[in-house]
Amino acid sequence: MRLRLPKSSLAYRKAGTALAVAAMALCGPFSATQAHALKIFGMSFFEDEEAAEVIDPVNYTLTLNGGGEDEELRETLENSSRLFQDKDKPVSGDLGLAIKARDDRDRLLAALYEKARYGGTVDVRVNGQNIDDLPPDPVFPDGASIPVEITVTPGPAFTLGSVQFEGDAAGRNPADYDLPPGARADSTLIIKAGEKIVADLKEEGRPLAELTERSVVADHKTSTVDVVIAAKSGPIANVGDVEVTGTKTVDPGFVADYSRLNAGKPYSPEDLRKASERLRQLGVFSSITIREAKQLAPDGTIPMTIEVSEGKHRYFGAGAQFSTTDGFGLQGYWGHRNLFGKAESLRVEGAVNRIGETTDVADLDYSAAVLFAKPGAFGPASTFNASLKASIVDPDAYKATIFTGAVGATFELSPVDTVSGGVELSFADVEDAFGENEYLTASIPLEYVRDTRDNKLNATEGYRASLSVKPSYEINGQTFFSSFEGSAAAYQSLDAANRFVLAGKLGVGSIIGGDSLSDIPATRRFFSAAAARCAAIPIRKSARATATTNCSAAVPMPTRRWRPGSA
């Protein structure tokens, strides 16, 4: 028996699925009951589960036989059967039940192939009749649940016999593609092997690589399958013209430049993936697709098309938090993601914290900020940043009113390395153990970051390490000092499904400079969780990890955080 597997995916939904879609379209609009729901941040609450009525509802009872003692196979069959997954929901009309039953047979056969059961059979009976014997427009008894019985005979698991790679795939080792002779012949492995061969050819700079054959011949006497996979590599090519489609308010020229898909650069699927991720991080597009042309241009290059769909550029939101030590906190923000047409972002935000921890509104923490960023300001690999921030903070060690303005830029040195630098001016009116003092501090913040995480939002492996240096000059007291901070976070998945990830983080900090502790603004000092009332003790011009270095005998003063500028 010769089986032909689809070239790109498990496309096992056949005519039954198409008929189901057509039948639903012909049924006309569904009548809907009034639905009530509250949506917050995209999540629905109090939603009416009976939001839509099913036209001509037909209930059924399902008996699924098959899988035997093989729990993995039984679970696969149950997950593949739409009749099983929707067994508590009625279908629309007698024809809808017949269509769903036919579709289930294709799904279950595909599930058997996925588990190398090429000799398996699926028998589906509706109201006692085989689905192949049902009339085109079946009629089942009214008023009762229609019995549906599915019997799956899995047969033996087939193994791989001969595996041949032909064409431009010849010479590759089948074991490198998870197809060693004698292994279980899951259809998913065979399909993935073909896809990986094409991907490997494209990684060699061949954008037109494609499969020319992928066939499976099953021998039911020996329960083995012979596999033939052939591919055509096509020529090596450079990137050609880059076209951008789908933009409305975003400058398409900016999109092409920021993608860094430069004409004349060697074709690389990895570059396409990075370009897509880079554009997605701008936050202005709801979807991004990068396509290469189906044929080379006359000059031998491969033209590219970046297809985008713009999302909502204006946004706002609010949030709340609670801590047993800090009380309640409220935050609000408004932003624009495409201010001048080149993904410039503006964000205005404010927050009030420590609500409930104190009854005096003067003792609450307040903050407000205006943040601006312009990607590609000094080339595609750069971002200009500017900010104005104001805050009133009242931790245990001090009380301060702070105003800060900063400008700077970030540059990508490589896909994993970035550097940033800028200038900052900060005014702080501080009341602490030294009395009430005003500080005006000019700084040059510098930072280097190396980030090898596989996913910045949900890392399962890799690490992120940063080193920052902030040379500063306190103008009122004419004091030079510098702060140094380093941190590293590492991630390692403990299982193949990435359900358990081991993560750890380490941070260190130090300050050099200042004749005494009072020379350094309290907002720039380090405070540990066991900070002590020792602010009056002078500290020499030497490196120190925290402000409590020389204070071990002092009376402890509880604090809430460990970071520069807070207690």
Query: Tokens standing for 210?
Result: 């494609």
Residue 23: pLDDT over 50: no
What is the average pLDDT across 222-228?
Answer: 95
Residue 18: pLDDT over 90: no
Query: Under a CB-based contact definition with an 8 Å cutoff, are residues 348 and 362 in contact?
Result: no
Cα 18 to Cα 230: distance, rounded to the nearest angstrom: 30
DSSP letter assigned to residue 547: T
Cα 370 to Cα 282: distance, rounded to the nearest angstrom: 18
Q: Could you tell me the CA-to-CA distances from 123 to 12, 66, 118, 129 in Å, in that order?
A: 17, 10, 15, 10
pLDDT at 1 (0 to 100): 52
Angle, alpha carbons 241-246-249 (nearest 5°): 110
pLDDT at 366 (0 to 100): 95
Residue 10: pLDDT over 60: no
What is the average pLDDT across 474-500?
Answer: 93
pLDDT at 478 (0 to 100): 94
Percentages helix, strand, coil for the chain, rounded to the nearest 5? 20, 40, 40
What is the average pLDDT across 326-349?
Answer: 95
pLDDT at 5 (0 to 100): 54
Residue 357 banded pLDDT, cuts 50, 70, 90: confident
Q: Which CATH number fits domain 385-567: 2.40.50.320, 2.40.160.50, 2.40.40.20, 3.90.79.10?
A: 2.40.160.50
Residue 100: pLDDT over 70: yes
pLDDT at 302 (0 to 100): 96
Write down the domain spans for the chain: 2-29+50-153, 159-232, 239-310, 312-375, 385-567
Tally: H helices and E strands in the chain: 7, 27
Residue 452's SS3 state is coil
Angle, alpha carbons 120-122-123 (nearest 5°): 140
Fold type of domain 239-310 = Ubiquitin-like (UB roll) (3.10.20)
Q: Do domains 159-232 and 239-310 have the same CATH topology?
A: yes
Q: Which CATH number fits domain 159-232: 3.50.30.40, 3.80.30.20, 3.10.20.310, 3.30.479.10?
A: 3.10.20.310
Residues 491-550: pLDDT tens digits?
Answer: 999 988 888 999 999 999 999 998 888 899 999 998 875 443 333 333 333 333 333 333
pLDDT at 562 (0 to 100): 38
Residue 301 banded pLDDT, cuts 50, 70, 90: very high
Length of the chain: 567
pLDDT at 327 (0 to 100): 86
Residues 281-296: pLDDT tens digits?
Answer: 999 999 999 999 999 9
pLDDT at 168 (0 to 100): 95
| Measured distance between the N- and C-terminal CA atoms of the chain, rounded to whole angstroms | 74
Residue 55 banded pLDDT, cuts 50, 70, 90: confident
Q: Tell me, yes or no, if the pTM score tops 0.75.
A: no
Element at 559 (helix H, strand E)? none
What is the average pLDDT across 237-262?
Answer: 95
Query: Under a CB-based contact definition with an 8 Å cutoff, are residues 395 and 566 in contact?
Result: yes
Residues 105-160: pLDDT tens digits?
Answer: 999 999 999 999 999 999 999 999 999 999 988 999 988 899 999 999 999 999 99
pLDDT at 41 (0 to 100): 42
